[in-house]
Amino acid sequence: MKPRTVPSRWRVAVAAAVAMAAGTSGLVALSGTAGAVGEPVTVQYRTSATGATADQAEPWFKVKNTGAAAIQLSDVKVRYYFKADAGSAGYRFACSWAVKGCANVTGTFGTPAHPTATADRYLDIGFTSGAGSLAPGSDTGDMQLRFYRSDWQPLNQSDDYSFGASQTSYANWPKVTAQWSGSTVWGTAPEGNDPSDPPTDPPTDPPAGGQSLFDDFNYTSSSDPKLSANGWNVRSNAGGPGVPGAAWSPEDVTFATTGGNSAMNLRTSTAGTAESTKQTEVLTKATKFRNGTYAARVKFADTPVSGPDGDHLVQTFFTINDLTAPMADDYSEYDFEYLPNGGWGESSGILYTTSWETYNPDPWQAVNQHTESRQSYDGWHDLVLTIDNSSIKYYIDGQLFGSHDAAYLPERPMSINFNQWLIDLTGQTSTTPRAYDEQVDYVLHVKDQVLTPAQVSAKVNAYRTAGTAFEDTVPTS
């Protein structure tokens, strides 16, 4: 994808590692209809890009507290709906200026539960805790926001649901919605995306049967014979992704008890040189996973466990198979990738979920769809990926994060992978040693069944209640 303009060796190396081993209700589209009277939040909108076509869309907002009590802005989300342009590789969000500070304003792209002719994408505007609170009657002040095509081609605003060409000064705008603490309190969503349209009470009991892989990562070390016997490869072979010349270090994959559960720890360390850089990766030996549900509880980290911060780190949970030829149409990959210190052209923390159709390593050409969020994801998170015959969906902590199209569905089975590595050594140039940890509590795959996040939790709890630390009934063919 365009935001990840990475060297060609990145994809080639990951695919090679896979071949050797074989030898993701705040973001859920629940935006309904609400009026301003008696509600705690109203949204004012204006645009400075009024043309039907423009280099970038510029939705500017003010969020006002019209209730009787103070509200935390971190509990508020504003959703702007638009129609994706044909041939677009994706979109990128930027904040030009905000009274509350651009560092405290986040932008996340997603797909509505029921796309329409004027709304098959949305931009969610959120706030970090640093944005503070709004007293009754006060507003955020100016938020001068923008988004643009990642290939920088002109975008068409004339068919965007939330766009208002005549709105050159701030006024209440009901064609955007606002959620407060998960409930829609302002605006009218595109048809079919009211709160009553998606199920409001998703099932919690997992369906019966289902061939499954579950691992609680209850091992003693990376050399524990059970780890290999249970189908895992702890990588030691050289190559990318990451810093050229860095080593992949099995001894830096360790296991311990955290929060009452066993967990796998992947440590990546460096002293600012390729020779001192050690990266970690654990992946299944078998490439036998395709449609169904993938889930893991992962602890991302914004800061190192020791030494100076700032390295361009990538922390992941993903599935992948090998690229058989440049632009081969049977390649598949589905990623959760967290960059706590930026990288790939980003200056600060960002989380990507990406569905890959194919790529050409040289010259670099990518065919994929992605969703991104520029905010901190430090700490434990429940990551769920579902793949059926119509779409790919990513959930984070029970909330829909991104929904990707049928064009990116897998044609062949894949492996399941976790790795942590450094894009380069330019984020932190110090020669002081430092180390970063990514932890994994469990991993689950259920073949050919799409589970809700609640069903995933119920299934994991059932394994743990029964004392089952490992199960693999997924066939190899």
pLDDT in tens, 383-401: 999 999 889 999 998 888 8
Looking at the chain, the whole-number percentage of residues with pLDDT higher than 90 is: 69
Euclidean distance between CA atoms 27 and 64, whole angstroms: 21
Give the pLDDT of residue 40.
Answer: 85
Euclidean distance between CA atoms 197 and 195, whole angstroms: 6
User: For the whole model, what pTM was predicted?
Assistant: 0.65
Looking at the chain, the whole-number percentage of residues with pLDDT higher than 70 is: 89
Q: Is the pLDDT of residue 115 over 60?
A: yes
Q: Is the pLDDT of residue 8 over 90?
A: no
Q: Provide the pLDDT confidence category of residue 69 given band limits of 50, 70 and 90.
A: confident
Task: Give residue-wise pLDDT tens across range 326-358.
Answer: 999 999 999 999 999 999 999 899 999 999 999
Task: Give residue-wise pLDDT tens across range 153-169.
Answer: 999 999 999 999 999 99
Answer for the pair 110, 401: CB distance below 8 angstroms, yes or no: yes
Which tokens go with 464? 């743990």
Task: Give residue-wise pLDDT tens across range 172-213.
Answer: 999 999 988 778 899 999 987 764 344 344 566 778 778 999
Q: Is the pLDDT of residue 454 over 50?
A: yes
Q: Is the pLDDT of residue 427 over 90?
A: yes
Contacts of 210 (CB under 8 A, 6+ apart): 292, 446, 447, 448, 449
Contacts of 89 (CB under 8 A, 6+ apart): 1, 2, 149, 150, 151, 366, 368
